[in-house]
A and B are shown apart, each in its own frame.
Chain A
Amino acid sequence: DQQVKQNSPSLSVQEGRISILNCDYTNSMFDYFLWYKKYPAEGPTFLISISSIKDKNEDGRFTVFLNKSAKHLSLHIVPSQPGDSAVYFCAADSNFGNEKLTFGTGTRLTIIP
């Protein structure tokens, strides 16, 4: 039962353009969402998060949007840079019950120079 889904395994974007990575979730108890970035041979690193009381959170070139009614979130990177090439994982957590991060399967983003 995949409660967090990233339906695009890969995405290629031209340098300077906007990258949009999508994530869907099914568990309505999730109320905190995170994006992690992973380079090869390294562990995931935290990128940005959003609480369910907000619908947008911005940090520099990275913005996360949350649509609770659609159970959908997206990560926008603008402008995209070659160093953004990595695997991006969406994760969700709940303040109710068994707190644990539930991860999506990841999207491999390639920025084309």
Chain B
Amino acid sequence: DSGVTQTPKHLITATGQRVTLRCSPRSGDLSVYWYQQSLDQGLQFLIQYYNGEERAKGNILERFSAQQFPDLHSELNLSSLELGDSALYFCASSYGPSSYSYEQYFGPGTRLTVT
């Protein structure tokens, strides 16, 4: 158990809908990262927050947005969903701001299926 929790575990929704994925980091960690893993793909970095502020951005679509709240939990919002958004979404947390210097601990993921 990494100490990172993600809810829900599974989500099935229809095209055009909007969903929110939630992540609670390990106690004491200030950074939250979001990754998308599509079928037979590696994990693709989406976005990172550190202590409530956006710190780094990857290939995140404009239909997707995220935020980190004062209690450090984070939410990833996916809107106008398309079939291609079906994937595993992982959240990871670390203590510091840099992916280079601080180990990331991953949650179990949320499996999103868009029908």
**A-side interface residues toward B, CB under 8 Å?**
2, 4, 6, 9, 32, 36, 41-46, 89, 91, 93-95, 98-106
Q: Which 3 A-B pairs have the closest CB atoms?
A: A43-B106, A103-B42, A103-B43
Complex Cα distance, B92 from A101, in Å, reads: 11
Interface size class of B (residues with CB under 8 A): 20 to 34
User: At the interface, is chain A mostly helix, strand, loop or mixed?
Assistant: loop
A37 to chain B, nearest CB (A): 11
Segment touching A, from B11-19, B70-78, B79-87, B96-104: B96-104
Q: Is the CB of B103 within 8 A of A46?
A: yes
**B-side interface residues toward A, CB under 8 Å?**
2, 4, 33, 35, 40-45, 48, 56, 58, 90, 92, 98-100, 103-109
Complex Cα distance, B106 from A44, in Å, reads: 6
**How many A-B contacts if CB must be within 8 Å?**
59
A67 to chain B, nearest CB (A): 21
Chain A residues, Cβ within 8 Å of B99: 93, 99-101
Chain B residues, Cβ within 8 Å of A103: 35, 42-44
Q: Is the CB of A101 within 8 A of B104?
A: yes
Complex Cα distance, B42 from A103, in Å, reads: 5
Q: Which of A9, A41, A101 contacts B108 (CB 8 A)?
A: A41
Do A99 and B100 contact each other (CB < 8 Å), given the known contacts A43-B92, A43-B106, A43-B109?
yes
Complex Cα distance, B26 from A46, in Å, reads: 15
A62 to chain B, nearest CB (A): 16
